[in-house]
A and B are shown apart, each in its own frame.
Chain A
Amino acid sequence: EVQLVESGGGLVQPGGSLRLACAASGFTLGSHSMNWVRQAPGKGLEWISYIASSTTNKYYADSVKGRFTISRDNARNSLYLQMNSLADEDTAVYYCARLGSGIYLEDAFDIWGQGTVVTVSS
C-alpha cells in the first residue's frame, strides 16, 4: 500500500525546535518531489515547503523561511522538516504530501500522510 506516515510532533515552548519526519512506504520516495502542508486550528490548508526529487531545489513559504528546513534521505525513503524558532502561530497539524507522477498529475498532491500535531505553547 502506498503510504506516508508522519512523526515527531508534540508540545514545544515558543522559541523551541522540533524535527518532523515522514516515512514513505509502497513507493520510491526518490522518484517524487515532496511537500509539507499545515493546517492551523480553524484555518485552511497552508503550503509551507517543497523539495525536488533530486534535493537540488527547495522552496519555503514566507511564513517559515529562515526558520524551517526541508530535507530528505532517499536511501531511507524519508522526508524531514526541521523547525526552529517556533512561535504560537506555528501550532498546526503538519502533513507531508507527494507530488504525483505522469503528465498533469505531477503538479498535484496525490498522496498525503495522516498528519502530526505540533503545539507551540508555554
Chain B
Amino acid sequence: DIQMTQSPSSLSASVGDRVTITCRASQSISHFLNWYQHKSGEVPKLLIYAASRLQSGVPSRFSGSGSGTDFTLTISSLQPEDTATYFCQQSYSSPPYNFGPGTNLEI
C-alpha cells in the first residue's frame, strides 16, 4: 500500500498569513492526490482534487500543487474560518484510498 505523510503535524498562524502544508507519498502517485478540510464537529469537505483542481464552491485562496511524490496545499490569505484539520489522500492505486495523518491548523 502507498503510505502518506504530512508536515507539519500542527501549526499556528495569523489571519492574512500565507500557509503551506506538505504531503508526501511513499511512491509516485502522479497527480492522484486530494485535499480535505475537516472542521471539528462538521463533515469533511473536499477542497482540491487531482493535486491542483479546486472543488466547486471552495474559495480561491486555497490552491494545490505537485506531482509524483510531493504535494502542497497553500492558503494564500488565512481567514478565521480556516481553522481545521487538513488531510491529503492518494487515489492512485485505489482502493485503498489512504489518507495522510492530518495537519491541525490553528488561527
Whether the Cβ atoms of A44 and B100 lie closer than 8 Å is: yes
Q: Evaluate whether A108 and B46 lie within 8 angstroms (CB atoms) in the complex, with A47-B96, A50-B95, A59-B96 already known.
A: yes
By secondary structure, the A interface counts as strand
Q: Out of B91, B95, B99, B100, which one reaches A59, CB within 8 Å?
A: B95
Contacts of B46 in A (CB 8 A): 100, 108-110
Q: B-side interface residues toward A, CB under 8 Å?
A: 32, 34, 36, 38, 43-46, 49-50, 53, 55, 85, 87, 89, 91, 94-102
Q: Evaluate whether A107 and B50 lie within 8 angstroms (CB atoms) in the complex, with A44-B101, A47-B99 already known.
A: yes
Whether the Cβ atoms of A109 and B100 lie closer than 8 Å is: no
Q: Evaluate whether A45 and B43 lie within 8 angstroms (CB atoms) in the complex, with A61-B96, A107-B91 already known.
A: no
Whether the Cβ atoms of A44 and B102 lie closer than 8 Å is: yes
Contacts of B45 in A (CB 8 A): 112
Whether the Cβ atoms of A112 and B102 lie closer than 8 Å is: no
Number of interface residues of A (CB under 8 A): 22
Q: Evaluate whether A115 and B96 lie within 8 angstroms (CB atoms) in the complex, with A100-B49, A110-B55 already known.
A: no
Q: A-side interface residues toward B, CB under 8 Å?
A: 35, 37, 44-47, 50, 59, 61, 95, 97, 100, 104-105, 107-110, 112-115
